A and B are shown apart, each in its own frame.
Chain A
Amino acid sequence: DSGVTQTPKHLITATGQRVTLRCSPRSGDLSVYWYQQSLDQGLQFLIQYYNGEERAKGNILERFSAQQFPDLHSELNLSSLELGDSALYFCASSPPPFRGYYGYTFGSGTRLTVV
């Protein structure tokens, strides 16, 4: 157990639908990152939150949105789903900068299948 909790582990939904992926960071970590991993695209950075605020944005589609709540858990909302959104979505967390830079701790991912 990495300490980063992602739910659900698997999700199957139809095109046009909306889903919410949830992530609880490791205790003490303030940053949450979302990544998308599809077969031909590798790991693509979507968005980062730090202590409730958006800090960095990557290749995140307008149909996707995220937020980080006061208890530091984060949700990634995917709407108007398309077949191409099928992928493994990872959440990762990291401690605040004053603790050093030791990479991220990843959750086990949510496998999204759009049919």
Chain B
Amino acid sequence: AQTVTQSQPEMSVQEAETVTLSCTYDTSENNYYLFWYKQPPSRQMILVIRQEAYKQQNATENRFSVNFQKAAKSFSLKISDSQLGDTAMYFCAFMTPNTGANSKLTFGKGITLSVRP
């Protein structure tokens, strides 16, 4: 079974600075996908970024980028130029693709990020 571990329960960062959120996972699969989701105080789950395991290039979406280390099974999220609106809980998630259409997302426990003005 796949597991996703987010060992830091909370982090805080000053506005405009950079912060990195850690995530590790465990799997015996070679083909999989990794995601970071954001859950602001509104509780809506929002997809932040996606990484395909067979791609060596790290994914980037504007101020959000990942550091994907496949051998180490590590998938960290870097937020640059932090903004107050980045205050949220962030979840790391893992998916093994399945053509039988039962690809389940497994989530870590999440990390609460607070951006200080």
- The chain A residues found within 8 Å of chain B, CB to CB, are 2, 30-31, 33, 42-43, 45, 48, 50-51, 55-56, 58, 88, 90, 92, 94, 96-97, 101-106, 108-109, 111
Contacts and interface: CB of A to CB of B under 8 A. Distances in A.
A45 B93 CA distance: 12
Contacts of B98: 97
15 contacts: A33-B104, A45-B105, A45-B106, A48-B104, A50-B101, A90-B45, A92-B45, A97-B97, A97-B99, A103-B35, A103-B93, A106-B37, A106-B45, A109-B44, A111-B43
Question: Chain A binding site: helix, strand, loop or mixed by DSSP?
Answer: strand
Given A88-B43, A90-B45, A92-B45, A58 B95 contact: no
Interface of B: 33, 35, 37, 42-47, 50, 91, 93, 95, 97-110
B101 A96 contact: yes
Contacts of A56: 102, 104
Contacts of B104: 33, 45, 48, 56, 58
Contacts of B46: 106
A102 B44 CA distance: 17
Nearest to B4: A42
A72 to B, nearest CB: 13
A59 B28 CA distance: 22
Contacts of A88: 43
Given A43-B91, A55-B100, A90-B45, A103 B105 contact: yes
A109 B43 contact: yes
A42 B37 CA distance: 13
Contacts of B105: 33, 45, 92, 103-104
A42 B101 CA distance: 24
A30 B101 contact: yes
Contacts of A45: 104-106
A99 to B, nearest CB: 11
B102 A48 contact: yes
B33 A50 contact: no
A111 B108 CA distance: 21
